[in-house]
């Protein structure tokens, strides 16, 4: 198969558009509600250094491999993998790797849309003053009330998926390209504005101590595995999004340099978010740092409700969270849409509606997991917990591991040479070493740890 310079979907107008798109895919809720807490609880600065090393030597190499496959195939992940497997003359079962990533992406989108809907709801919840002066019990009750109301959850889930469809149906240039070139600068500006606010109005010193105190006693082997896991998942590897975005990457651009910039922005957002969040949390007496929904929808609303100007800042913060979720979600929808457009010669609007409805219907299972369906168990999980475990602990690690092994050992070397043209041979050697040895070991360890924690 001759190398295609431009696929049927078009291409990003510039390298920076791809960087914004890939950064938008990578930056999500995990940067905001997970990384800051696990960093502070696992050795602070020591954990951050291990995490950044894992990003550089594990996350970046696998992301480069996924971008390379997408750019060479110039199609959706499903069809790109089929063509590359055929061109390499290897076992056709490797083509299933494209299906695995896209399926994981649509499953993640189904519950991600529900959680992102919470953030949309809290823009109004905080901004309207409903949580002014709230204490922990009041904030917890408001969040519980949201979760117990299926109609509210479905409404905001629908609003969020509608926003995603509105972007993706515009195509690469008029939809995705315009969106990321608009959303990501806004996200960065809001984040920097919140950082300035936290320096002057929050307890910035306490936040910096929590995140960056260098405590080797708290850095255990479990902490290292957690750093590996988060470094891998934060870059949106293994869910088809990066491969799909790579298909629209200009041929002249260096994959390695571009992915390093994306990794830098993703890590910067996580670290700055931590400084902002914990500056605000530590400025409010009686609030302890936490992770996950408890941090986002209970601790922070209490802090915002009890500080001068906090309601406006709180609304702006949840706009930031919503933008981060939106930019990630459109990257999950695009691979599915691209596949239907290619395979069935279908228009983008129709393809979007089909997969948005599929995600919406699957999302109802997540909605009901928090209320009327909370007693229904699937292998000991609620429907939401099952999808979360299936994708995060099984599908994504397997997908990432197979990408590393396929590019490291299986793919035709001519494909690598054509896509990595101009890259320093020593860098290529280090990259191939990481794909063949470091990444498989690290991903395998994270995979086993995830299963061990759940079942043993």
pLDDT digits (tens, 9 = 90+) for 218-234: 888 888 888 888 887 88
**How far lies 86's CA from each of 21, 93, 426, in Å?**
29, 11, 29
Please state, in angstroms and rounded to a whole number, the distance separating the CA atoms of residues 98 and 92.
12
Residue 372 lies in a domain: yes
For 31-43, what is the mean pLDDT? 83
Q: How many CB atoms lie within 10 A of CB 424?
A: 10
pLDDT digits (tens, 9 = 90+) for 110-166: 999 999 999 999 999 999 888 898 888 899 999 999 999 999 999 999 999 999 999
For 404-412, what is the mean pLDDT? 96
Beta bridge partners of residue 7, listed in sequence order: 10
What's this model's pTM, rounded to 2 decimal places?
0.93
Query: What values do phi and psi take at 7, rounded to 5?
Result: -80, 180
Residue 2 lies in a domain: no
The answer to whether the beta carbons of residues 158 and 152 sit under 8 Å apart is no
pLDDT (0 to 100) of residue 291 = 63
Q: How many CB atoms lie within 10 A of CB 372?
A: 11
Residue 343 lies in a domain: yes
Please state, in angstroms and rounded to a whole number, the distance separating the CA atoms of residues 446 and 456.
15
| Per-residue exposure over 403-412, b if at least 16 CB sit within 10 Å of its own CB, e if not | bbbbbbeebe
- Please list the alpha-helical segments (H only) found in 213-309: 221-233, 241-246, 255-282, 293-294, 300-305
For 7-27, what is the mean pLDDT? 89
For the domain that residue 104 is a member of, what is the CATH number?
Answer: 1.20.1740
For 377-385, what is the mean pLDDT? 89
Structural domain total, the chain: 1
pLDDT band, very low/low/confident/very high, at 3 (cuts 50, 70, 90): very low
Q: How far is CA 272 from the centre of its chain?
A: 16
Residue 3 lies in a domain: no
pLDDT band, very low/low/confident/very high, at 306 (cuts 50, 70, 90): confident
Residue 4 lies in a domain: no
State the residue for tokens 């960087």: 19
Residue 137 lies in a domain: yes
Q: Which of these, 239, 236, 109, 248, lies nearest to 172 by C-alpha position?
A: 248
pLDDT (0 to 100) of residue 50 = 92
Please state, in angstroms and rounded to a whole number, the distance separating the CA atoms of residues 277 and 264.
20
Domain region containing 89:
15-455
pLDDT digits (tens, 9 = 90+) for 370-380: 999 999 988 88
Find the range with the poorest average confidence among 148-157, 198-207, 399-408. Answer: 198-207
pLDDT (0 to 100) of residue 79 = 96
For the record, the structure tokens of 408 come out as 């490291």
For 168-175, what is the mean pLDDT? 92
pLDDT (0 to 100) of residue 441 = 93
pLDDT > 80? residue 254: yes
Question: What does pLDDT average to over the chain?
Answer: 91
pLDDT band, very low/low/confident/very high, at 19 (cuts 50, 70, 90): very high
Residue 68 lies in a domain: yes
∠ CA(347), CA(349), CA(350), 5° rounding?
A: 70
The full length of the chain comes to 456
3-state secondary structure of 64: helix
pLDDT digits (tens, 9 = 90+) for 82-98: 999 999 999 999 999 99
pLDDT (0 to 100) of residue 396 = 92
Residue 5 lies in a domain: no
């Amino acid at each position: 198969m001759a190398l295609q310079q431009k696929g049927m979907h078009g291409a990003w107008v510039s390298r920076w558009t791809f960087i914004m798109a890939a950064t938008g895919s990578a930056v999500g809720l995990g940067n905001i509600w997970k990384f800051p807490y696990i960093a502070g609880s696992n050795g602070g600065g020591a954990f951050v250094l291990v995490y950044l090393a894992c990003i550089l030597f594990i996350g970046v190499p696998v992301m480069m491999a996924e971008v390379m496959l997408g750019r060479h195939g110039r199609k959706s992940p499903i069809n790109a993998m089929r063509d590359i497997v055929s061109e390499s003359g290897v076992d056709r079962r490797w083509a299933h790797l494209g299906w695995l990533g896209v399926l994981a992406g649509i499953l993640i989108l189904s519950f991600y849309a529900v959680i992102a809907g919470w953030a949309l709801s809290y823009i109004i919840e905080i901004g309207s003053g409903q949580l002014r002066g709230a204490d922990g019990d009041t904030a917890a009750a408001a969040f519980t009330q949201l979760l117990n109301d299926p109609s509210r959850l479905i409404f905001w889930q629908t609003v969020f998926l509608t926003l995603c469809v509105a972007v993706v149906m515009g195509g690469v240039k008029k939809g995705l390209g315009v969106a990321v070139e608009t959303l990501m600068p806004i996200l960065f500006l809001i984040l920097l504005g919140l950082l300035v606010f936290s320096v002057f109005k929050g307890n910035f010193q306490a936040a910096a101590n929590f995140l960056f105190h260098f405590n080797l006693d708290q850095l255990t082997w479990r902490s290292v595995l957690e750093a590996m896991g988060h470094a891998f998942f934060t870059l949106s590897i293994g869910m088809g999004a990066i491969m799909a975005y790579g298909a629209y990457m200009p041929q002249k651009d260096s994959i390695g340099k571009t992915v390093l910039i994306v990794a830098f922005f993703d890590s910067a957002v996580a670290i700055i978010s931590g400084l902002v969040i914990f500056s605000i949390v530590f400025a409010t007496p009686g609030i302890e740092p936490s992770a996950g929904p408890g941090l986002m929808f209970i601790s922070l609303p209490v802090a915002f409700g009890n500080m001068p100007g906090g309601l406006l800042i709180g609304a702006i913060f949840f706009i930031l969270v919503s933008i981060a979720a939106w930019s990630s979600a459109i990257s999950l929808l695009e691979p599915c849409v691209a596949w239907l457009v290619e395979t069935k010669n279908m228009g983008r609007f129709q393809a979007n509606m089909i997969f948005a409805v599929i995600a919406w219907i699957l999302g109802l299972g997540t909605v009901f997991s928090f209320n009327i369906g909370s007693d229904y168990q699937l292998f000991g999980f609620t429907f939401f917990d099952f999808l979360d475990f299936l994708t995060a602990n099984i599908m994504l690690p397997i997908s990432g591991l197979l990408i590393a092994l396929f590019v490291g050992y299986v793919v035709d070397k001519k494909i690598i040479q054509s896509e990595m043209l101009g890259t320093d041979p020593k860098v290529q050697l280090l990259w191939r070493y990481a794909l063949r040895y470091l990444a498989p070991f690290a991903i395998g360890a994270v995979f086993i740890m995830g299963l061990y924690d759940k079942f043993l």
